[in-house]
Chains A and B, each alone.
Chain A
Amino acid sequence: GNSVTQMEGPVTLSEEAFLTINCTYTATGYPSLFWYVQYPGEGLQLLLKATKADDKGSNKGFEATYRKETTSFHLEKGSVQVSDSAVYFCALSDLGYGGSQGNLIFGKGTKLSVKP
C-alpha cells in the first residue's frame, strides 16, 4: 500500500543553519506530494506541494523537489529561523488511481527546534 517515511526527529539546529528533512514514499500511480507544518498548539497547514515529477514546490524559503527516480521529496531551507520551530509532515495523495479517493497519507512527522 501507499506509505510515507520521513526522518525521525527531533532535529535541533542553530539559527541560520541549513535544514534538510528527508522524505521518501511508496505509491502506486502518480501521487501528489505535500509538506505540512504544525506550529505549537495549532492545526496543520500546507507549506508546499508538487503534483508531478521534477516539480519544485516552494514557500517561505522552504523548497522540495518531486524526484520520481528516487521516490523522494526532501524538504530544505537554506537558513532557518527560530520561528521555523514546528513539526513537519510529509504527505502524499494518491487521487483517482486506486486507493481511497481523497486520502492524504502522512509520515509520522519530524520535530524541528531552532535555537537562537
Chain B
Amino acid sequence: EAQVTQNPRYLITVTGKKLTVTCSQNMNHEYMSWYRQDPGLGLRQIYYSMNVEVTDKGDVPEGYKVSRKEKRNFPLILESPSPNQTSLYFCASSSSGDLGFQYFGPGTRLLVL
C-alpha cells in the first residue's frame, strides 16, 4: 500500500529539548516536503527536497532543519523547540513528474511547553 508514515503521531516536549520527527515514503518519490498547519493560517511549507541531498527552504523555515540522505526518508529536526512551534505537522511526497499530486502523512501533533 502506498503511504507516507510519520513518527511520532503525538509529542509533548519542553522548550529547548531537541527532537526529530521522522517521515518515510514507500513510493520511490523524488519530492518530499514538510508543512505545518495552524488554525486560521492553513498549511505553510517549512522545507522541501527535490531529491537526495537536495533541500530548500519553504515559507517558514526558521527553527527547523531537515536532511535527505536517503530517498525514502526526510526527517524534520527541531534543535531547540519553542512554544511557537506547537503545531500540527505534515510530511508529503510526490513524484517529480506530478509535483502537485502530493501524498500526505497522517500528521504529528506537537506541543512545546
Contact = CB atoms under 8 A, between A and B. Distances in A.
Contacts of B103: 45
Contacts of A45: 103-104
A43 B99 contact: no
A2 to B, nearest CB: 11
Contacts of B41: 108
Interface string A95-116: 1000011111011110000000
Interface residues of A, number: 22
Given A103-B58, A108-B42, A49 B100 contact: yes
Contact of A108 (B40, B101, B102, B105): B40
7 contacts: A32-B100, A43-B106, A49-B101, A93-B99, A95-B99, A104-B99, A104-B100
Interface of A: 32, 34, 41-46, 49, 89, 91, 93, 95, 100-104, 106-109
